[in-house]
Structure formats: C-alpha cells, structure tokens
Chains A and B, each alone.
Chain A
Amino acid sequence: MPAPIRLRELIRTIRTARTQAEEREMIQKECAAIRSSFREEDNTYRCRNVAKLLYMHMLGYPAHFGQLECLKLIASQKFTDKRIGYLGAMLLLDERQDVHLLMTNCIKNDLNHSTQYVQGLALCTLGCMGSSEMCRDLAGEVEKLLKTSNSYLRKKAALCAVHVIRKVPELMEMFLPATKNLLSEKNHGVLHTSVVLLTEMCERSPDMLSHFRKLVPQLVRILKNLIMSGYSPEHDVSGISDPFLQVRILRLLRILGRSDDDSSEAMNDILAQVATNTETSKNVGNAILYETVLTIMDIKSESGLRVLAINILGRFLLNNDKNIRYVALTSLLKTVQTDHNAVQRHRSTIVDCLKDLDVSIKRRAMELSFALVNGNNIRGMMKELLYFLDSCDPDFKADCASGVFLAAEKYAPSKRWHIDTIMRVLTTSGSYVRDDSVPNLIQLITNSVEMHAYTVQRLYKALLDDISQQPLVQVSSWCIGEYGDLLVSGQCEEEEPIQVTEDEVLDVLEGLLVSNLSTPVTRGYSLTAIMKLSTRFSSVNRIKKVVSIYGSSIDVELQQRAVEYNAMFKKYDHMRPALLERMPIMEKSSSNGPTEMVQTNGETEPSALESKHPPPVTQPTNQANDLLDLLGGNDVGPVIQTSMPTKQASSGGELLDLLGDLSLTGGPTSAPVSTGPPPLPGFLLDGLSSSQNLFNDISAAGIPSMTAYNKNGLKIEFTFERATPNPNIAVITIHASNTTDADMTEFVFQAAVPKTFQLQLLSPSSNVVPAMNQGTVTQVIRVLNPQKQQLRMRIKLTYSHKGSAVQDLAEASGRVVWEPDPEHGVETP
C-alpha cells in the first residue's frame, strides 16, 4: 500500500479542479483511499489522513467517518497526533454525537500530562466543546489546574472553568476557593481570563455578586496601573496598554456597581479618569471609551459623570468613522429611556444621521428618532421622518410607516395634521404600509367626526391620481362608502370643496372593481362601498346593476357579497337604510400596546389576523351576516362597550384588566382568560348549574331569568332566549331598574367574557335609568358559546347618581347552553 498522498499535494490537486463536478470526483477518490487506510489501522499515516479529511470537511464534504480516528489520534503518544486529533475532535465532533464521550478519559489523562502543551490542548478542547457530562466528570481536574502556578495553564483553566459553569451552573461553587488570589497575578493573560471568570460567576449568581463586591478596590487599582503604566511592547495597541483587559475590567465593574451605591462611588474617580484621558484618535481608544460610557450609564453614577458620558456619545455622533457613529446611536437608544432630556440635546445630529449612506446607521438613527419624538418636537421631527420615508430603502418603509403612525397617534397636535400625515404616508409609501394599519386608520378617521368631509375629499383626490397602492385604495374606498354624501354635497370647510357628481364617484369605485391592480380584498372593499352609497346617493339603479353583475363573479368572496347585497335590495329593502347607516364612533383600547379593535354595537371590525374581511355593515337582525362575524371574527377576547360618544376615555383598557382578574391562574392582565376554568364559588345561577334535567326544560321553556346585580338600588336582570338556528348563541336581554329616588344618568353597561366566548353588545334603549322603578333600560347581548362552557361574564356598571359618579364590578356565571332542538333535527354547524 503506497503512502497516502501528502496534505499539500491534495490541496494543490483539488485547487486545480476547474468545475465543481471535477472537485467532487477528486474528493470522492481521496475519501475512498482514506477510508481504506483507516480500515487498515495504519498508525503512521493516520494523522496525515485526518488532516486531509479536515481540509475536505472545510470545503463542505461529509467527514463523519473520521470521528473515531480522531479519538485514536488523541489517545496516541505523539504530540503531532494529539494536536491534529484534538483539532479534528473540535471540528468534527460535538456534544450531539455520543462518540464524544469516549474522549473523556483521554482528556482526563492529558490534563495530567507532563507536557504543558498537551495539557493545554486538552483544556482547549474541553473549553470549546465539552458537553455537560464531560464537564461534570472533569471539573475537578480543571479546578486543580486553576490553582497551579503555571500561568500558561492557569489562564486556560480559567476559561475552561467559564465553559464548565456555562454548561453546568451548579458547579460554580466548586471554583470559588480557587478564585481567591486570581487577581493578584501579574500575568495579563491570567488576569484577563480571571476577570472573565469572575464576570461569568457574578452574572449567574447574586450571591457571588455580593461576595465579589469586595474586589472593586482591587479592580480599580489594576485599571489605574494599566492607564498610568509606561509603554509595554507586548501589550501595547496603538499606545494604549492592554485594551482587552481594560475593557473587561470595566465590564466587571459595571456588573458589580449596578445596584450598589458604595461600589459605584468607589469607581467614580477611575471612570472619570478613563473617560477624560483616553486617546480617541484610534479605534482602540474609542472601544475603551465606549465601554466606559456603558458602565457609567449602568451604575449609580453621579449626574456629572452621566452628563460626561452622554457628551462622549454626542462627540461619537460627530465622528467621521462610521463604526463609531453606529455605536453611539446604539448606546443612545439604550439610554434614551432613562436620560431622555440629555439625549434630546443631540436630536439634530441624530436626525442628520438619517441621511447617512450606510444602511446600519440609517436604521439605528430611525429607531432613535422615533424614541425621541415627543409633544414638543413632533412637527419638526415628522417633517424629517416623512422625508426619510420618501427616500429610504423598501426594507425600512414598513417599519418607518408604522413608526410614523404610532408617533402621530400619540402626539398629533391637531386632527387635521394627523389626517394630513396619514395621507402623506399613504400616498408616498402606501404599498409598504402594514396590513393591520388599514383598520387602525379607518377607526381613526371615524373618530375625527369634524374632519370627515375633508378626509373623504382628500382621499378621493388621491384615488383619482393613483390606484396601485392597496392600503390607500382600501381606506379611500371605505371612506367614500361611508361619507360619499359629504363628498358630493361639497361641504368641506378645511379646504376648497371640489365638485363631484355621484356618477363620477361610482365610476371611480367601479373602476377599482375591474382594475387589474386591485387585490381581491380591495375589490371587496369597493363593492361594499358601492353598496353603502345606495342609501346615500340617489342613483340606486346603477348600484343595483353593479351588484347584480357581481352576483356571478368568479371570485367567491365577491360573489357572496354581491348575492347578499342583492338580497338586501330584493327581500330586505325595508331594512336597507338601517343596515347601511353611518357607523358610530369606535372606542379604542389603550394606545400603548398593539391596538386592538373593539367591538361596538352592531358591527365587528376585523382583527389584524383577519384583514381579508373588510368591516361588514350589518345590524343584528341580519342573522346570516352575524354568524359570519361571530364565527369568523377575532381571536382576541372581545372587549365590549356601548358607544356613548361622551365616553372617550380608554375604558377598553380597564375592561382588559377585568378579564385579567377573571383568570383563575392569576395570569397577565392584558390577555383574556384561558379556557376551562372550574366553576366560581358563590355564583348566582345555582339553579342552572346543578342539574342536567333543566336542559330538557330549557329547550322548551327557556332559561329562567336571573338577577345578575342588585346593589345600591340598581338591579340588573338577565333574560334568556335562544337564537335560532345556531344553538350556541344565547341572546341575553338585560333589564336595568332603579329603586332609588333619583335617576341614574349616563348609565353604561359593559361586559367581558373569557376567550372561548364571543360577545356582541347592542344599543341600549337609553342611558338614563329612571327612579322609583318608573322604567327600565334594556340592552341585548348575544353570546356565542361554541365550546358549550359555563358562561362567565364580568360586568362593569358606571352611572351618575345624585351628582356623583359610581362605578361597580360584578360577575355572573352559569350554564347557558342550548341542546340541539329536536324539532329542527340537525345542528347548525
């Protein structure tokens, strides 16, 4: 058997290959030769073969058959073998293969070898890829080596200990005694790795952290020596002595001083010294300054020091070096929450960074700009951000648009400005706007009642220019559908009203239906808009024609809509005006989190997930549509509120809190309750929940009414009905009556249910509960209970009584499930 070819030869040969196929062929040939050589258990050339195998592995070819060979090499006595064997182990093996455990014994022996380089190899391998089992077995050896006086081994043992702690945190205690005099070493390598070890321990265990706080003076001293010491050739980097060690010490100081006043005070001087004395002409000096700034911001430093830190970051922002600017923007983003005012001072520089050519810098600048927007600078900042939006890369546009919407919502100085900003975003970057902003925008527009005419006019004009940007088109067609009457009547106050005829409007909307640019969703929007205009415009015939044409559309969604609208013209024409009425104002939950659409009387808004279904215009009497809404609607637990225009406060958010209280597991208040809770104690519907026989009675006789609330003279009764044909829907009518001698005004009834239910609250009969039982306020609630669970409802009542505002919470629960009606025979899906 001739000697296998040398590594160099192989590399040279492979490099001459001109195509991938040629290379593959050569490699396969060589692999076959290597395999047969392995089979022959050739000791002399094993290291050569493994070296070749490692080269081929780097090119991307499989080399797993060499794993055992690496182990054999590790076990060999020759240093050459061990060296390449350990390298092979690190490249080919990892803790996922069981084979690696066979290494443990070899490593153990090598850790006690007479030659320090062999020990070093073993430590290195263990420290790079040791699995938890190996670490457990060999931790003792590592700990022993940590106490040796040989600095070469000590530094390796320290980093190996770091790895062991990362893999098996419980072993941390074992290394504690060895750390006693680590910092009194002179050798920088040992010092550096010791600091890393201490950092790791402090990060993982608060006990260790408090234990090591006493090292702060020593660390400060070491750092001072580094700064003050003269030139040391072996550690010098551009005139700075051992920047790696300096940065590591600064990082450890950060962790030690974090919530501790004494430690922070002990470091103040040295931090100030480093911050002012470090040479900033080269990258290395800036690296140290950067770490210093991070440390100052994180510990309990005095305000003068913090100002110094922010100023350093400000100087970084003006630096020519892009890396430094990037780093400054990143750090400012971290500090903007805590030191908002200080960062505001640098706002103009940050905004300039938006115009930088570098993509990473632009992104950071954009994030930071959004963080800096507040009520005072909103106009100026928005101008810059909109300009940025126009000219930035497509990847940024979605994020930027969302950010603009959020900022505009929080700080808009006026409604008109808000609408203008939205229009600007929609017209310039309309196609990049996220899908979930369309419902948000619609809701916003609905709420700014006085701007309706202006808004619809502007949207109409935008639509005339360009119909390719789908979000813009969707919002526009929705608005035209809603406010078309304002458009043709030319009522706009804010700007010059345009003269538009009904036919022109219908032309535009029909144009959307036929255009190739419109997506199916957009077509749905425009068809619905056209339908809505049938109650607002006089040219009903034209609309009827359009609707009937689409009754045979290929698109199932459009067809269904058209058929239903057709039905509205034919069979339900008497209901049409009521059905297509103007939508009332929708309340929004708190604007901090993701805005959730709130269900209001009579209609449901699509959630972010269901953006395919534009808001259908229904009143509850149209049952087919109701089922669609109820069944196809939100995943989020619905939060209901009656829409009293006076109540503009974000009571949605409070209701979410109500739901949180409902959760028996005490989960977060933002999410509705999970399914299947056990029955609540002390509920009011004892009669219902106890026996099953009631159900048979129920299907015939109906659930008896119950008193859900009776306190302070206000009594709320629930009466139940079934809603055919869906047995899962219960219709509850509440009757509120007042036994006191004064009226209860501004009466608002709110309800929340767990996530498995869906709730729809309809308009109350009035919001005044007259005194002395002279009348009742009624309101209808529809509850969908697909999982046939026990109904639990939290109710919240607010009203004004004798001049003072009253609020109360209550809970109601019980079984409100209908059996399939034997008369009808089949259960509705």
Chain B
Amino acid sequence: MMHFLLLFNRQSRLRLQKWFMPVSERFKRKVIRDMTMMVVGRPARSCNFLQWRDLKIVYKRYASLYFCVGMESEDNELLTLEVLHRYVEMLDKYFGNVCELDLIFNFEKAYYILDEFLMGGEVLETSKIDIGVAIEDADVLQETLEEYMSKPTY
C-alpha cells in the first residue's frame, strides 16, 4: 500500500498532501522536508525510484509539479508510475489542460478526485469513465445558487 502522496513544485511549495497512515505532525513535516530535498535535487535524466528508510519512493515530474509517492517494498514501482499518470489524466480531463494554478485554486477538487481514485493507499477504481461520472454527479449535488450563477461556492 502507499503510505503517502505528495505534490510539490520546484520551490518546494506543497500543493497536495495525502497520508494513508496515521502519523504525527512532526513526522509529516520531516517527510515533506526530506522528500522535497531528495526529489528536487535529482538530476533530470535519473531513474524515478529512490529508497528512503524502509519505503520505496516513486516520483514523476509533470510540468512544474512533482508527484511523489512513498510505498512499501512489495509494491510494484512501475505500476505506481502508471497510477500517477492516471491521476494526472483525471485531473486533466476535469480541469481541461490542468496546470499548477488550477490545483492551487481548486485544491479541494483535486482531493475529491483523488478520493475517487485511491483509498487507503490502494487503487479504488480503474476505469477512467467511472471516476469522471462520480465527480460530476457529486458536483451536481453540491450545486448551489452561486454555482448555478457561475460564482464559486466557497
């Protein structure tokens, strides 16, 4: 299972953090610090896999964002790269040509999409279509007058 999923940019600003194991705030901060340091410091054409303590770290860079996953040693690294790619595809489909700004201003949506795709550190749904349908339906439920008038909810 995955232990955490982090999104951060080259300036080490965190854009999304998902923790699948209960850990202390201090540990979270340490992990974030270590991950950003290790991943941002990697040269361009290196291998996407690292070892950190007893976890395998898989990271992939998409435009200005690094997607970083920490997982257990039995998990398949190559498949995790595909998981990250699928998540980016979902974000792209939802936001239409997603970029970092979209994820900054709509961070809660990024979380909602993530929660339809992964749960408890495992892949929940493998169909691209079903995830999209679920998000759209949930958005409809959330629709308020403001949304209807194309104003933001929050």
Query: 8 Å CB contacts to A: which residues of B10-35?
Result: 14-17, 19-20, 22-24, 29
B78 x A94 contact (CB < 8 A)? no
CB distance from B152 to the nearest CB of A (A): 5
What are 26 A-to-B residue pairs whose CB atoms are below 8 Å?
A58-B15, A58-B16, A87-B111, A117-B137, A120-B134, A128-B115, A156-B119, A160-B119, A163-B120, A189-B124, A192-B123, A192-B124, A196-B122, A234-B128, A234-B130, A235-B128, A237-B82, A243-B82, A244-B79, A244-B123, A245-B126, A251-B76, A283-B82, A286-B78, A323-B77, A326-B77
B144 x A80 contact (CB < 8 A)? yes
User: Which of B14, B23, B112, B126 is in CB contact (< 8 Å) with A188?
Assistant: B126
* Cα distance A163–B118 in the bound complex, in angstroms: 13
Query: 8 Å CB contacts to A: which residues of B126-154?
Result: 126-130, 134, 137-138, 141-142, 144, 152-154
A291-B79, A322-B47 given; A8·B105 CB < 8 A: yes
User: Which of B19, B120, B129, B152 is in CB contact (< 8 Å) with A234?
Assistant: B129
Q: Which residue of B lies closest to A246 (CB)?
A: B79
A247 at the interface (CB under 8 A from B): yes
B108 at the interface (CB under 8 A from A): yes
CB distance from A712 to the nearest CB of B (A): 54
* Cα distance A785–B112 in the bound complex, in angstroms: 67
A47 x B76 contact (CB < 8 A)? no
* Cα distance A234–B86 in the bound complex, in angstroms: 12
A95 at the interface (CB under 8 A from B): yes
CB distance from B121 to the nearest CB of A (A): 9
* Cα distance A58–B111 in the bound complex, in angstroms: 12
**Contact stretch, chosen from A48-56, A571-579, A714-722:** A48-56
B108 x A87 contact (CB < 8 A)? yes
Known: A234-B127, A284-B82. 10 other contacts (CB 8 A): A8-B152, A54-B108, A83-B112, A87-B112, A156-B119, A193-B122, A244-B126, A325-B47, A327-B78, A359-B46
* Cα distance A376–B51 in the bound complex, in angstroms: 32
A152 at the interface (CB under 8 A from B): yes
B53 at the interface (CB under 8 A from A): no
Using an 8 Å CB-CB cutoff, how does the interface string of A229-252 with B read, 1 for contact, 0 for none? 000011101000011110110010
A644 at the interface (CB under 8 A from B): no
B55 at the interface (CB under 8 A from A): no
B40 at the interface (CB under 8 A from A): no
* Cα distance A286–B81 in the bound complex, in angstroms: 11
A58-B17, A286-B78, A322-B45 given; A159·B138 CB < 8 A: no
Query: 8 Å CB contacts to A: which residues of B27-73?
Result: 29, 45-51
B107 at the interface (CB under 8 A from A): yes
A83-B142, A159-B119, A287-B82 given; A235·B20 CB < 8 A: no
- Count class of interface residues, chain A: 35 or more
A11-B105, A244-B123 given; A117·B134 CB < 8 A: yes
User: What chain A residues lie within 8 Å of B83 (beta carbons)?
Assistant: 244
Q: Which residue of B lies closest to A159 (CB)?
A: B119
User: Which of A47, A163, A248, A361 is in CB contact (< 8 Å) with B154?
Assistant: A47
A825 at the interface (CB under 8 A from B): no
A7 x B141 contact (CB < 8 A)? no
A58-B14, A284-B82, A287-B79 given; A326·B22 CB < 8 A: no
* Cα distance A47–B29 in the bound complex, in angstroms: 26
* Cα distance A11–B128 in the bound complex, in angstroms: 30
* Cα distance A160–B115 in the bound complex, in angstroms: 12
CB distance from A186 to the nearest CB of B (A): 12
A128 x B119 contact (CB < 8 A)? yes
B138 x A96 contact (CB < 8 A)? no
A324 at the interface (CB under 8 A from B): yes
Most chain A C-beta atoms within 10 Å of own C-beta, residue among B29, B45, B81, B125: B125
* Cα distance A127–B14 in the bound complex, in angstroms: 24
User: What chain B residues lie within 8 Å of A160 (beta carbons)?
Assistant: 119-120
B104 at the interface (CB under 8 A from A): yes
B49 x A326 contact (CB < 8 A)? yes
A162 x B78 contact (CB < 8 A)? no
B134 x A159 contact (CB < 8 A)? no
B130 x A124 contact (CB < 8 A)? no
A189-B124, A234-B129 given; A7·B144 CB < 8 A: no
User: What chain A residues lie within 8 Å of B126 (beta carbons)?
Assistant: 188-189, 192, 235, 242, 244-245
A358 at the interface (CB under 8 A from B): yes
CB distance from B42 to the nearest CB of A (A): 8
User: What chain A residues lie within 8 Å of B23 (beta carbons)?
Assistant: 94
CB distance from A542 to the nearest CB of B (A): 54
Q: Which residue of A lies closest to B135 (CB)?
A: A117
B154 x A115 contact (CB < 8 A)? no
A84-B108, A234-B127, A235-B126 given; A94·B152 CB < 8 A: no
Q: Which residue of B lies closest to A47 (CB)?
A: B154
Query: 8 Å CB contacts to B: which residues of A183-224?
Result: 188-189, 192-193, 196
B120 x A6 contact (CB < 8 A)? no
B46 x A244 contact (CB < 8 A)? no
A79 x B142 contact (CB < 8 A)? yes
* A-B residue pairs, 5 tightest by C-beta: A287-B78, A7-B154, A322-B47, A51-B154, A234-B129
* Cα distance A48–B151 in the bound complex, in angstroms: 13
A291 x B122 contact (CB < 8 A)? no
A676 at the interface (CB under 8 A from B): no
Q: Which residue of A lies closest to B80 (CB)?
A: A287
A290 at the interface (CB under 8 A from B): yes
* Cα distance A41–B114 in the bound complex, in angstroms: 31
A593 at the interface (CB under 8 A from B): no
CB distance from A738 to the nearest CB of B (A): 58
* Cα distance A284–B23 in the bound complex, in angstroms: 32
CB distance from B9 to the nearest CB of A (A): 13
Query: 8 Å CB contacts to A: which residues of B80-110?
Result: 81-83, 86, 104-105, 107-108
User: Which of B22, B51, B76, B141 is in CB contact (< 8 Å) with A290?
Assistant: B76
A60 at the interface (CB under 8 A from B): yes
User: What chain B residues lie within 8 Å of A243 (beta carbons)?
Assistant: 79, 82
User: What chain B residues lie within 8 Å of A322 (beta carbons)?
Assistant: 45-48
B124 x A193 contact (CB < 8 A)? yes
User: Which of A58, A96, A159 is in CB contact (< 8 Å) with B120?
Assistant: A159
User: What chain A residues lie within 8 Å of B123 (beta carbons)?
Assistant: 192, 196, 244, 248
User: What chain A residues lie within 8 Å of B105 (beta carbons)?
Assistant: 8, 11
A358 x B130 contact (CB < 8 A)? no
* Cα distance A87–B110 in the bound complex, in angstroms: 11
* Cα distance A355–B81 in the bound complex, in angstroms: 25
